[in-house]
């Protein structure tokens, strides 16, 4: 095994490759290895328990925002009203770059959360939101989803 090093993007210190039970108390997901910076409480999950980071480092604030984005935009395809790929390509087109929630910054998350329901509506009044915007905004769960 080659010695791979990953550095925290917040403080620049070397991150530790650990199981995510270090963060959650128990392991979450089938790929539970992650790179963790204890000083910043920032981490990034890994691809299939390898050392390859999946996305970018996120601290508590960014994780909370990413979770809110998932709650907000995933409701449209999870409810079967729209296709997942369509939702993400719509957001990517609006932002002007390929959008992945796992790579998003605080600024990007806020932009996505500011998009109105109508933005996701291919035809007026075709979609009906499952989760209200207030509920999304109040969400502050520490546990991250996959992606
Ligand atoms: Zn750090």
pTM greater than 0.95 (yes/no): no
Average pLDDT in the chain: 90
Chain centroid to Cα 126, Å, comes to 26
Q: Do residues 126 and 81 touch, judged by C-beta distance below 8 A?
A: yes
User: According to the model, what pLDDT value does residue 134 have?
Assistant: 82
Q: What distance in angstroms lies between residue 124's CA and the mean position of ligand 1's atoms?
A: 45
The domain locations on the chain are 1-57, 60-137
User: According to the model, what pLDDT value does residue 2 have?
Assistant: 54
Which phi and psi (to 5°) does residue 36 adopt?
A: -125, 135
Q: Which residues of 96-106 are buried (b: 16+ CB within 10 A; e: fewer)?
A: eeebebbbbee
Q: What distance in angstroms lies between residue 145's CA and the mean position of ligand 1's atoms?
A: 21
Query: Model confidence over 24-73: pLDDT tens digits?
Result: 899 999 999 999 999 999 999 999 999 999 999 999 999 999 999 999 99
Chain centroid to Cα 9, Å, comes to 16
Q: What distance in angstroms lies between residue 42's CA and the mean position of ligand 1's atoms?
A: 6
The answer, yes or no, to whether residue 143 has pLDDT greater than 80, is: no
Using CA atoms, how far residue 127 sits from 52, 103, 109, 137, in Å, is: 37, 27, 22, 20
Q: What distance in angstroms lies between residue 61's CA and the mean position of ligand 1's atoms?
A: 14
Q: What distance in angstroms lies between residue 36's CA and the mean position of ligand 1's atoms?
A: 8
* Least confident piece of the model among 11-20, 46-55, 99-108, 117-126: 117-126
């Amino acid at each position: 095994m080659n010695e791979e090093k990953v550095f925290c993007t917040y403080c620049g210190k070397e991150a530790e490759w650990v199981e995510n039970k270090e963060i959650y108390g128990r392991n979450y997901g089938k790929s539970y290895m992650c790179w963790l910076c204890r000083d910043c409480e920032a981490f990034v999950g890994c691809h299939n328990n390898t050392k390859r980071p999946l996305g970018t480092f996120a601290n508590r604030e960014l994780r909370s925002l990413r979770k809110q984005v998932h709650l907000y935009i995933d409701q449209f395809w999870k409810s079967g009203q729209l296709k997942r790929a369509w939702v993400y390509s719509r957001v990517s087109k609006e932002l002007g770059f390929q959008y992945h929630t796992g790579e998003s910054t605080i600024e990007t998350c806020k932009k996505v959360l500011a998009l109105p329901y109508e933005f996701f509506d291919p035809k007026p009044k075709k979609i009906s939101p499952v989760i209200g915007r207030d509920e999304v905004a109040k969400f502050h769960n520490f546990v991250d989803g996959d992606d």
